[in-house]
Chain A
Amino acid sequence: MRLGVVAVSTLAWRNLWRNYRRTMIMLLAISVGVWAMIFMTAVLRGMVDNMVTQALDTLPGYVQIHAPNYLDDPSVTHSLPAPDPSLLQVLGDPLVAAWTSRVKVPAMISSEYENRGVTLIGVDPEGEQALGFDIHDITQGRFLVGANDRGLVIGRKLLQRLDTRLGKRIVIMSQDPGNSIADRGFRIVGVFRADLESREENIVYAGRSVVQTMLGMGSEVSEIAVRGHDYRHPQVLADKIQAETDARVSSWLELDPYLSTMMRVMDGFVLVWMVVVFLALSFGLVNTLMMAVFERIREIGLMQALGMRPSAIVYQFLLESLLLLLLGLLAGNLLAVTTIYVLRDGIDLSGVAQGLEMMGAASVMYPVLQWPDLVLANVVVIVLGIATSLLPAWRAARYLPVEAIARTS
Chain B
Amino acid sequence: MAAISCVDLCKYYQQGDAVIKGLDHVSLEIEQGSFVCLSGPSGSGKTTLLNAIGGLDKLDSGKISIDGERVDQLGKAALADLRLHSIGFVFQAYNLIPVLSARENVEFVMQVQGVSASERKQRAFRILAEVGLQGMEDRRPAQLSGGQQQRVAVARAIVSQPKLVLADEPTANLDSASLEKLMARFRELNKLHRITFLIATHDERVMSWAERRIGMEDGRVIHDALQAPV
Measured CB to CB, the residues of A under 8 A from B are: 2-4, 6-7, 10-11, 14-15, 18, 298-299, 302-312, 400-402, 405, 408-409
Whether the Cβ atoms of A405 and B94 lie closer than 8 Å is yes
Question: Does B57 contact A400, Cβ atoms closer than 8 Å?
Answer: yes
Complex interface: chain A residues within 8 A of B83 (CB): 305-307
With A2-B114, A401-B56 known to touch, is A308 a contact of B80 (CB < 8 Å)?
yes
B112 contacts A306, C-beta separation under 8 Å: yes
Query: What is the minimal beta-carbon distance from B141 to any residue of chain A, in angstroms?
Result: 11
24 residue pairs of the A-B complex, CB under 8 angstroms, read A4-B112, A7-B111, A7-B112, A10-B104, A11-B97, A11-B99, A15-B99, A18-B99, A303-B97, A305-B83, A306-B89, A306-B109, A306-B112, A307-B85, A308-B84, A308-B112, A309-B77, A309-B80, A309-B81, A310-B77, A400-B57, A402-B57, A405-B56, A405-B91
A408-B114 contact, Cβ under 8 Å, with A14-B99, A14-B100, A401-B56: no
B111 touches which of A6, A400, A409 (Cβ 8 Å): A6
Which residue on A lies nearest to B99, using beta carbons?
A14
> Is B112 a contact of A299 with CB atoms below 8 Å?
no
> Which B residues have a C-beta under 8 Å from some C-beta of A?
51, 54, 56-58, 76-77, 80-85, 87, 89, 91, 93-100, 104, 108-109, 111-114, 117, 156
| CB-defined contacts of A6 to chain B, threshold 8 Å | 111, 117
Determine which residue in A14, A299, A309 has the highest number of CB atoms from chain B within 10 A of its CB, and name it.
A309
The 8 Å CB contact of B97, one of A2, A302, A312, A405, is: A302
Q: How far is the CB of B118 from chain A (nearest CB, A)?
A: 13
8 further A-B pairs in the complex, CB-CB below 8 A; given A10-B100, A302-B97: A11-B97, A306-B112, A307-B80, A309-B76, A309-B81, A311-B77, A401-B57, A405-B94
Contact B112 A307 (CB under 8 A): yes
Q: Is A400's CB under 8 angstroms from B94's CB?
A: no
B99 partner residues in chain A, CB cutoff 8 A: 11, 14-15, 18
With known contacts A307-B81, A307-B84, A402–B98 Cβ distance under 8 A: no
CA distance A311 to B93 in the complex (A): 25
CA separation between A304 and B82, bound complex, in Å? 11
